[in-house]
Amino acid sequence: MNNRIKNAFASKQNLLNVYFTAGYPRLPDTLPLAKALVEAGADILEIGMPFSDPLADGPVIQRSSSAALANGMNLPVLFEQLRELRAVVPETPVLLMGYLNPVLQFGVEAFLRQAAAVGVDGLILPDLPLDEYEERYHPLFQQYGLKAVFLVTPQTSEARIRRLDALSDAFLYLVSGPGTTGGTTLPDAEAQQQYFERIAALNLKNPRLIGFGIADKMGFDRACEHAEGAIIGSALIRALQDAEDAPATAARFVRGIKSPVARSV
């Protein structure tokens, strides 16, 4: 099975993973946004599945989830929209990011089957217990060719990081600091540097992307000094809030961030 995630990391440096909420700012915007983001230079797409209680997300993404739900977005609608996904973005890795409750309500195997059928590459489910994933769902992920992406925080122990690394065949999502997505409180620079160095010293098998609090080109460039790339979400959602043309706004946003970055090897 084509592993678009591995192919992306093998062929590029300084990858930009862009998060956007499905069905926001308008219900039909999901695929037009995906197309515009990729054409502007996004290397990975992370499509948020709206949920009424997104615990890991800050107020910007929470508001976008509420708006998307009010627009009529739900998992059946999303999978119907994504039937044309691979006609729009043939080779770009696509992840679904969300929370376990809607997946359980949909039915885990049915969800995985539908995700695989429309060409999704992997899932980020921050509240999925690791033991439950390993014991119950890992074989199903493998059966449907889907990759699990796990979050690592500055508080994650070495033993757990190694376990996450062993259970994943995609990349590790390094949370840059405490708090939720889109936070404005800057983490302690020295502590953050030590955190990234500690992760690098573990010589993990999976590549790493850094997320939470990255909002502009400067933040993206800094993250690329410590990982294979970065994840940006809230800043794009903020830009889309009052956009008359969401795809054009998204494309401008990505072009403002994604440019060649000098990087020592």
pTM: 0.92
Predicted confidence at residue 2, as pLDDT, reads 62
| Chain centre to alpha carbon of residue 135 | 24
Predicted confidence at residue 187, as pLDDT, reads 57
Instruction: Give CA–CA dist 25/33, Å, rounded.
Output: 10
Q: Chain-wide mean pLDDT for the chain?
A: 92
The sign of the torsion formed by the CA atoms of 31, 53, 140, 6 equals: positive
pLDDT digit string, tens, across residues 29-77: 999 999 999 999 999 999 999 998 766 667 899 999 999 999 999 999 9
Q: What are phi and psi of 60, to 5 degrees?
A: -65, -50
By annotation, the residues acting in catalysis are 46, 57
Cα end-to-end span (Å), the chain: 31
Predicted confidence at residue 259, as pLDDT, reads 67
Predicted confidence at residue 258, as pLDDT, reads 82
The β-bridge partners of 97 are 48, 124
Edge-to-edge strand list for the sheet holding 122-124: 147-148, 122-124, 94-97, 44-48, 15-21, 229-232, 208-211, 172-175, 150-152
Ordered domains of the chain (ranges, CATH): 4-255 (3.20.20.70)
How far, in Å, are 45, 93, 148, 248 from residue 40 at the CA level?
A: 12, 15, 26, 10
In which residue ranges of the chain is pLDDT below 70?
1-2, 54-57, 177-187, 259-265
pLDDT digit string, tens, across residues 189-202: 888 999 999 999 99
What are the structure tokens assigned to 254, written together?
């990505």
